[in-house]
Structure 1
Amino acid sequence: MINRGKYPVLGVQISAIDYEYAVDAIVRAAKSRSPLAVSALAVHGVMTGFYDSVHRRRLNGLDLVTPDGQPVRWALNWIHGVKLPDRVYGPTMTLKVLTAAASEGVPVYFYGSKQETLDQLLDNLKRKFPNLKVVGAEPSKFRRLNPEEKQEVIQRIKDSGAAIAFVGLGCPRQEVWAYEYRDELSMPLLAVGAAFDFHAGVLPQAPSWMQNLGLEWLFRLIQEPGRLWKRYLFLNPVYLTFVFLEMLSVSKRAVLMPDGKEPEESYG
């Protein structure tokens, strides 16, 4: 049985949930027009919060932060004994939410990426989900918006009638976006990263066996070595080192506190 809740992995609170729980929470929030900021975090996303205390507070202010990468799921299980059987991968979660949205007539909006990627994405989704109500899509400006532009985006999304917004700006920009727009838009905001590129057919996804073994990073590194080598060859070993240290810390507390009660952790 999954021990649901949020658990810290290197100071970032990760939601111990499965696809069913995530999709149900998103659809319920969409139908009730309730704000819900969601992100799917892999190792790189966790490390952005680990190194930046301001961004860590943003991440911990999101409503759901799913374990997008297998190493994040493993950390939940190793450190906290969560028993999570699978990760909640952003691209897969996207398809599951779109399936529910198409079935229940929930209108959706897409924000981010390039115009040509969005065009291909919408063409593909139209074929896959003929009943899906896409009420708007706009590309990223690839810079921070000024206050006037931000309000224009908010108004466009509101006027579209959307009940769910998918955000594809890349990590960590999309998490910042979801955090900043959450209270302005009464709907689920899903920061799903490379899902736009994958489902548009712009980038190939790793084979299932590599995903299951936590080797998706290697596949992506081979695809984009110039852009991703620092992210994976530096951050991955650092992540594993600090996860190991956190495991030792939890084990030590368990020995020192045999009643099973652990002191509340603070990550500043």
Structure 2
Amino acid sequence: MAVHQNDQLVVGPATIDFVPLEQAATAIVTGRTPGGIHLCNAYTLALADEVPELATALTSDTANYPDGTPLMWWAKRRGHPNAERVYGPDLMERSLDIGRQHGTKHYLYGSTDEVLASLSSAIEQRWPGAEVVGVESPPFRDLTDDELKASIDRAAKAGADVVWVGMGTPKQDYLVHRMAAMSDQTFVAVGAAFDFIAGTKRQAPRWVMRIGMEWAYRLATEPRRLWRRYVIYNAKFVRLLWRSRR
């Protein structure tokens, strides 16, 4: 169940929570949003519209923030003029920054050992004093409940307040949903934020994001991996919005 009930929009199976980025980050680092937090874009919502398991994860957890410029355009057309994008990398960066004032302890879960090493180094250099109390690269397969519970216990033993999960959609959303059911910590699915902050993947320029063409930039950089996501599911997202409008 979403916690920000003053400014929301239902898109397909999910309720999107519109809050300023600063407010979302502050809520995370101060422990006001325990449970699962998802960053939703066109792909997430179009996929959830056809996969019941993903729809359940989005509708059951704490909050769904809008991570996608086309979604923001739609929100403004539907009566949310002040809607602000909560971009995963920006949310993580801002949380690391202001978390230093609150003694927030972070745990990094996902990706590879190499990316996690680069990410930890980048955090240490860019946000001195940010407390990363653990990193973990889980197996690239479905985890049993016992394996996932062991990971949660390790994060808890390390004193983590926030577990950042960077596994890609929808895998990370399933994991965050399962984790949130096992613990009262905060779990945030942030997708490619690990790679972007670590510098292991190129991030689209801000002007490309502003005109809603970030998907084209990412498709050009990783065509074999992302063509289906953007070519097929962008069209499905447009149909989803048309259905929501009707």
TM range (shorter): over 0.9
1:111 aligns with 2:114: no
Q: Distance in 2 between matches of 1:184 and 1:147?
A: 9
Larger Rg: 1
Residues of 2 paired with 1:174 and 1:238: CA distance?
21
Whether 1:59 aligns to 2:61 is: no
Structure 2 partner of 1:22:
24
Of 2, 5, 8, which residue of structure 1 is paired with 2:10? 8
Q: Hey, what does 2:241 align to over in structure 1?
A: 243
The DSSP-based 3-state class of the residue aligned with 1:126 is helix
Q: Which moved more, 1:86-95 or 1:18-27?
A: 18-27
Matches within 5 A, 1:78-93: 78-79=77-78, 81-93=79-91
Corresponding residue of 1:167: 165
Q: Percent identity, please.
A: 31
The 1-side partners of 2:117 and 2:69 are apart by 30
State the distance in 2 between where 1:221 and 1:22 align: 28
The residue type equivalent to 1:205 in the other structure is Q
Alignment of 1:143-222 (within 5 A): 143-222=141-220
| TM score, norm. by length of structure 2 | 0.93
The question of 1:40 aligning with 2:39 is answered: yes
Which digits, 9 at most, give the CA deviation of each residue in 1:142-174, with x for residues without a partner?
Answer: 111123312211210110011111110110111
CA distance in 1, matches of 2:225, 2:155: 32
Q: Identify the match of residue 100 of structure 2 among 102, 107, 115.
A: 102
1:111 offset after TM fit, Å? 0.3
Root-mean-square deviation over aligned CA pairs: 1.7
Aligned mates of 2:129, 2:90 — CA distance in 1:
19
Shift of 1:241: 2.7
Q: Give the match's secondary structure for 2:163.
A: strand
1:10–1:242 contact (8 Å) kept in structure 2: yes
Q: AA paired with 1:124? A: A
Measured against aligned partners, the alpha-carbon deviations of 1:25-68 in whole angstroms (never above 9, x if no partner) come to 212326xxx73311111111111211112321211112111110
Q: C-alpha separation between the residues in 1 aligned to 2:49 and 2:203?
A: 27
Q: Give the aligned partner of residue 121 of structure 1.
A: 119
Which shifted more, 89-98 or 15-24?
15-24
The one-letter amino acid paired with 1:67 is: P
Instruction: State the shift of 1:88 in Å.
Output: 0.7
Quote the Cα distance in structure 2 between the aligned partners of 1:240 and 1:143: 31
Aligned pairs, how many? 243
Residues of 2 paired with 1:135 and 1:36: CA distance?
A: 19
Write the distance in 1 (CA, Å) between the matches of 2:34 and 2:204. Answer: 32
CA distance in 1, matches of 2:220, 2:199: 17
Structure-1-length-normalised TM-score: 0.86
CA drift at 1:11? 2.1
Structure 2: state its 5+ residue gaps.
Answer: none
Distance 2:55 2:145 in 1: 23
- Given that residues 30 and 104 in structure 2 are in contact (C-alpha distance below 8 angstroms), is that contact kept between their aligned partners in structure 1? no
